[in-house]
């Protein structure tokens, strides 16, 4: 309740737009729509939109404006995360978080402690474990969970969201036994006797998900408020929400009608929604203050690299009998692409492995030839491992790679094991895309990764983790400049949502979405970018976050 009250206090109605305001004595940076970096010391906004930016010449031009002394702080446009999971972030804040677990045993003990604090919860839900970081590097099993939580079902999503660790009670509820067949696009991990071990990969999770309690509106409210408060504190003013069902679709529309969305949201309708055709027929949704824009669909190609679910053209280097999983059957791609593109909706296709990326590019080309849609700024979400011959096709087909810099620094401890050195030439290839003229929309994929955009800016520039390892960066030839990384989290992210004329910068006529931070990311050592702290976050000329309050 305290969290909800706090966020509500922050959420002054989005239609109560501030009067003319002049912030002076700042060190401001923005990009114009040509990608040129502009520096300014004065910012004036009125009605929630930018009226002027400039130097000392502006200080006498707006005598009736409310004057704010920026005290020489650094001011940037609000940052945009082009790929996150808003309700997933809110859930992870409210559920057991296993990101810091040091082993399977440590994680099980954390689940037990959480379960004791949630006596009324019928299920124990959590997220964040990563066996690659544990000493054994082996998948955990249900038997270990049973020792700590036996009589209540437990479902724990892997950090990438593409596998779940469950206990025996959960397997029992789902009816998963030795005789249960693997569903298409999914895998039930089994022991040497064929019995389920407690790990469900990709579509196998659906066998259990349908038994979870239905999400109430109160739960959606708590999740959205928690996520919104968190993102504002990190300087994120807009998010591309990568996959929503009908309940969240309806809830977002309700919140924007109430003028109470905490951040701007560009949500993608999940292609797996049973009412996809109905929602496409309803058409695009756009509110007049640009808080909510629904004009895209998220489709699912394959799984993730860490769980060996990414679909590869050749088998995994460390698992010769495995080439990954397709979450959408190849035969279903044409009707899906034709439906979405033919309805005038942008199609954003999750593809991590080189096979999934090639299938996406092939199908885009095929569907464009029959139903059109090339101008919709379609995207490949992640575009993580790509055959080098396919990279130029993104430019040819006008496909935007929406990529997450911290995936590279998180995956570098296992990517070469999974792929081998040769396939790494087309992996996490940000600079290769930029050199050919492809706009690259950056994000985090939270809660898979931490949502802090300065972690992403740091990873993009240094190709290092936050311990500055490895010394020269991992595959440093694909690193980007600070300006390029900044563009990925502002102008190019806005472009990927058809919003470059209203968001992604602080030029005249755009919404006055901006942040004040404690250091100059354009002049400090790149290794220190991740340490940046957000002091204030403003949306449409209204302050939504103030550090310390």
**Per-residue pLDDT tens for 70-126?**
999 999 999 999 999 999 999 989 899 998 999 999 999 999 999 998 887 889 999
Mean pLDDT on 469-479: 97
**pLDDT greater than 80 at residue 384:** yes
Cα–Cα distance measured from residue 310 to residue 253, given in angstroms and rounded to the nearest whole number: 33
* Residue 16 or residue 174, greater confidence: 174
Residue with tokens 């045993």: 105
Q: Pairing state of beta strands 42-46 and 21-31?
A: antiparallel
- pLDDT for the residue 6: 36
Q: Determine the Cα–Cα distance for residues 486 and 259; give it in Å rounded to an integer.
A: 29
Phi, psi of 444 (to 5 degrees): -125, -25
Give the tens place of pLDDT for each residue, 139-184.
Answer: 999 999 999 999 999 999 998 888 999 999 999 999 999 999 999 9
Q: Determine the pLDDT at residue 474.
A: 97
Residues 269 and 297 sit within 8 Å (Cβ to Cβ) = yes
Q: In 10 A of CB 156, how many CB atoms? A: 27
C-beta neighbour count of 133 within 10 angstroms: 17
pLDDT value at position 322?
96
Confidence of residue 304 (pLDDT cuts 50, 70, 90): very high
Residues in the chain: 549
Residue 442's pLDDT is 98
Q: Does the pLDDT at position 5 exceed 80?
A: no
Q: Within a 10 A sphere around the Cβ of 392, how many other Cβ atoms?
A: 13
| Nearest alpha carbon to residue 150 among 170, 127, 131, 128 | 170
pLDDT surpassing 60 at residue 9: no
Pairing of strands 79-84, 236-244: parallel
Query: Exposed, middle or buried, 543 (CB in 10 Å: 0-12/13-18/19+)?
Result: middle
Average pLDDT over residues 173-198: 96
Return d(Cα 453, Cα 446) in angstroms, integer.
10
pLDDT at 59 over 90: no
How far apart are alpha carbons 388 and 250 in whole angstroms? Answer: 41
Is the pLDDT score of 15 beyond 80? no
Confidence check: pLDDT of 2 > 70: no
- For residue range 443-453, what is the model confidence (pLDDT) as tens digits? 999 999 999 99
Place of tokens 């990568």: 242
Q: What is the mean pLDDT of the chain?
A: 94
pLDDT in the model for residue 460 = 98
Q: For 210-240, b where at least 16 C-beta lie within 10 A, e where not — what string?
A: eeeeeeeeebbbbbbbbbbbbbbbbbbbbbb
For the segment 186-196, the average pLDDT, to the nearest whole number, is: 96
pLDDT over 70 (residue 3): no
Q: In which region does residue 248 sit, left (phi positive, over 0), alpha (psi from -120 to 50) or beta (all else)? A: alpha
CB atoms within 10 A of CB 37: 13
Task: State both tokens at 13.
Answer: 């109605």
Q: Summarize pLDDT for 230-258 with one digit per residue, the tens.
A: 999 999 999 999 999 999 999 999 999 99
**CA 32 to centroid of chain Cα atoms:** 25
pLDDT given at position 243: 98
Q: Are 466 and 57 in contact (CB under 8 A)?
A: no
pLDDT for 160: 87
Distance (Å, rounded) from C-alpha 41 to C-alpha 29? 9
- What percentage of residues in the chain have a pLDDT greater than 70? 97
Per-residue pLDDT, averaged over 13-17, amounts to 41
What are the two backbone dihedrals, phi and then psi, of residue 33, each rounded to the nearest 5 degrees? -70, -10
On the CB side of 358, CA atoms within 13 Å amount to: 14
């Amino acid at each position: 309740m305290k969290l909800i009250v706090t966020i509500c206090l922050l959420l002054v109605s989005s239609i109560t737009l501030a009067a003319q305001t002049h912030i002076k004595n700042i060190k401001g940076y923005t990009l114009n729509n040509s990608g040129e970096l502009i520096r300014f010391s004065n910012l004036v906004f009125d009605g929630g939109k930018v009226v002027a930016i400039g130097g000392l010449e502006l200080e006498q031009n707006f005598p009736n404006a409310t004057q704010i002394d920026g005290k020489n702080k650094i001011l940037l446009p609000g940052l945009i995360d082009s790929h996150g999971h808003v309700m997933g972030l809110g859930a992870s804040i409210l559920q057991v978080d296993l990101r810091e677990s040091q082993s399977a045993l440590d994680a099980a003990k954390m689940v037990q402690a959480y379960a004791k604090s949630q006596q009324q919860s019928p299920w124990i839900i959590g997220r964040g474990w990563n066996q690659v970081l544990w000493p054994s590097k082996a998948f955990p099993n249900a038997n270990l969970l049973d020792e700590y939580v036996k009589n209540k079902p437990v479902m724990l999503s892997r950090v990438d969201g593409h596998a779940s660790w469950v206990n025996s009670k959960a397997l029992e509820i789902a009816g998963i036994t030795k005789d249960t067949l693997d569903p298409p696009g999914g895998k039930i991990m089994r022991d040497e006797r064929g019995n389920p071990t407690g790990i469900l990969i990709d579509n196998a999770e659906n066998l259990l998900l349908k038994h979870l309690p239905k999400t109430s509106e109160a739960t959606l409210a708590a999740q959205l408020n928690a996520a919104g408060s968190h993102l504002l504190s990190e300087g994120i003013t807009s998010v591309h929400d990568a996959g929503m069902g009908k309940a969240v679709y309806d809830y977002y529309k309700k919140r924007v009608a109430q003028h109470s969305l905490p951040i701007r949201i560009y949500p993608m309708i999940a292609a797996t929604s049973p009412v996809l055709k109905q929602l496409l027929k309803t058409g695009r949704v756009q509110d007049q203050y640009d808080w909510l824009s629904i004009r895209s669909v998220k489709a699912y190609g394959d799984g993730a690299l860490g769980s060996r679910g990414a679909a590869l053209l050749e088998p995994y280097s460390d698992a010769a009998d495995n080439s990954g999983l397709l979450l959408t059957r190849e035969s279903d791609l044409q009707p899906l692409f034709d439906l979405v593109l033919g309805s005038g909706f942008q199609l954003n296709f999750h593809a991590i492995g080189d096979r999934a990326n090639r299938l996406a590019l092939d199908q885009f080309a095929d569907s464009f030839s029959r139903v059109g849609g090339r101008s919709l700024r379609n995207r490949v979400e992640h575009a993580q491992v790509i055959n080098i011959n396919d990279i130029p096709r993104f430019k040819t087909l006008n496909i935007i790679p929406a990529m997450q810099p911290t995936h590279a620094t998180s995956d570098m401890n296992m990517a070469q094991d999974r792929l081998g050195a040769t396939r790494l030439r087309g992996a996490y290839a940000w600079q290769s895309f930029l050199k050919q003229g492809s706009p690259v929309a950056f994000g985090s994929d939270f809660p898979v990764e931490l949502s802090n955009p300065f972690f992403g800016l740091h990873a993009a520039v240094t190709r290092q983790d936050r311990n500055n390892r490895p010394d020269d960066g991992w595959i440093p030839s694909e690193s980007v400049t600070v300006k390029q990384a900044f563009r990925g989290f502002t102008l190019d992210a806005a472009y990927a949502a058809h919003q470059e004329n209203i968001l992604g910068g602080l030029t005249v006529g755009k919404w006055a979405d901006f942040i004040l931070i404690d250091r100059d990311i354009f002049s400090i050592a790149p290794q220190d970018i991740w340490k940046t702290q957000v002091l204030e976050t403003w949306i449409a000329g209204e302050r939504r976050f103030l550090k310390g309050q």
